[in-house]
Amino acid sequence: MNKRILALIAAFLVQVFYGLNFTFANDVIDGGYIKPFGFILLRLIGTTFLFWIFDFLVPKQKIAKKDFLLFLAASVFGMCINMLSFFKGLEYTTPIHASVIMTITPIMVLILSSMYLKEKISKTNVLGVFIGLAGAIILSVYGKSTNPGDNILLGNLLIIINAVSFSIYLIIIKKLTEKYHPFTFLKWLFLFGLILTTPFGYKEVLAVEWHTFPNYIWFAFSFVIVFATYGTYVLNPLALTQLRASTVSTFVYIQPVIAAIFALILGSDHLNLVKVIAAILIFLGVYLVTKKPKPITT
């Protein structure tokens, strides 16, 4: 099996794990077992431990001092802002809302690629940006939840911040994957992320009542750390070693499908007309954004 196929499988698995993560994380948070920032800190503690304990499996690479600043930036966007806004957003919105909004990631990656990597954007791409954002706005303003404690507008806004932050992270690590093995920089990214997020979550970690966890919550908690964090953060840069950032980001389309099916099966969310219309607009926008311009003929 060639490296490109393996990269495509890795990108696919990332979205499957993320798609399941919406429901598992939402159930832990909405159930009141762990508050959002506490969950983030525990997520980073567990994943940082896994990266450093398995460090011996990877050939040692010397890191240039100037790159540590890039490591720190990737950590801020990929671990801190990304995770904090995602879990806090899930406290106020629903799994299907969150997964649909995450499909704006390819739009953000395209915009950032044009600015940072100097890639060209066509008029069709621009139209796609506006259509996709229109879908996200409709979902945020008119979407409703059956949970009386939800604040859909605030929750969706936080998920949008999460999507933008994750897009920036993808652009940054694309550069890092060209120079280092993923394990080489990920262990440092998570260590920096752990240090930076500790002030936000340590009180919520201390408040966790572990003895109240039923088996399902233990499983959901473990899945988020092992598969939706450690697994996805290993697989994403592996995919980026063979694929463009814009290609990897388009796999996010799989998330709403996985998240919706799983949430509906477990009864964690429901479909309505607003969600369907918003999803269609976002998918159309994403399609136009990722559509390659036709070559000019004379």
70-79, 118-127, 179-188, range with the lowest pLDDT: 118-127
Residues 275-287, mean pLDDT to the nearest whole number: 75
Residues 216-233, mean pLDDT to the nearest whole number: 94
What is the structure's pLDDT at 194? Answer: 95
pTM (two decimals): 0.75
Higher pLDDT, 49 or 142: 49
Asked whether residue 208 carries a pLDDT value surpassing 90, the answer given is: yes
How is residue 280 written in tokens?
A: 């269609």
**DSSP E strands: which ranges in 29-128?**
none
Residues 82-91, mean pLDDT to the nearest whole number: 88
**pLDDT tens digits along 17-31:** 988 988 898 889 888
**pLDDT above 90 as % of the chain:** 30
The pLDDT confidence band at residue 72, using thresholds 50, 70 and 90, is very high
Distance CA 235, CA 239 (A): 6
Higher pLDDT, 269 or 95: 95
Q: What is the SS3 string spanning the chain?
A: CCHHHHHHHHHHHHHHHHHHHHHHHHHHHHCCCCCHHHHHHHHHHHHHHHHHHCHHHCCCCCCCCCHHHHHHHHHHHHHHHHHHHHHHHHHHCCHHHHHHHHHHHHHHHHHHHHHHCCCCCCHHHHHHHHHHHHHHHHHHHHCCCCCCCCCHHHHHHHHHHHHHHHHHHHHHHHHHHCCCCHHHHHHHHHHHHHHHHHHHHHHHHHCCCHHHCCHHHHHHHHHHHHHHHHHHHHHHHHHHCCCCHHHHHHHHHHHHHHHHHHHHHHCCCCCCHHHHHHHHHHHHHHHHHHCCCCCCCC
**pLDDT tens digits along 89-129:** 888 887 777 877 777 777 777 777 777 766 666 777 678 76
Asked whether residue 39 carries a pLDDT value surpassing 90, the answer given is: yes
What is the structure's pLDDT at 237? Answer: 87
Domain residue spans of the chain: 3-290
Q: Please say whether the dihedral angle defined by the alpha carbons of residues 41, 45, 50 and 51, taken in this order, is positive or negative.
A: positive
What is the structure's pLDDT at 293? Answer: 56
Residues 147-153, mean pLDDT to the nearest whole number: 66
What is the structure's pLDDT at 118? Answer: 65
The pLDDT confidence band at residue 2, using thresholds 50, 70 and 90, is confident
Higher pLDDT, 83 or 174: 83
The pLDDT confidence band at residue 204, using thresholds 50, 70 and 90, is very high
Residue with tokens 């100037």: 66
Q: Which residue, among 92, 96, 95, has the nearest Cα to 149 in the 3D structure? A: 92
Asked whether residue 269 carries a pLDDT value surpassing 70, the answer given is: no
Residues 74-83, mean pLDDT to the nearest whole number: 92
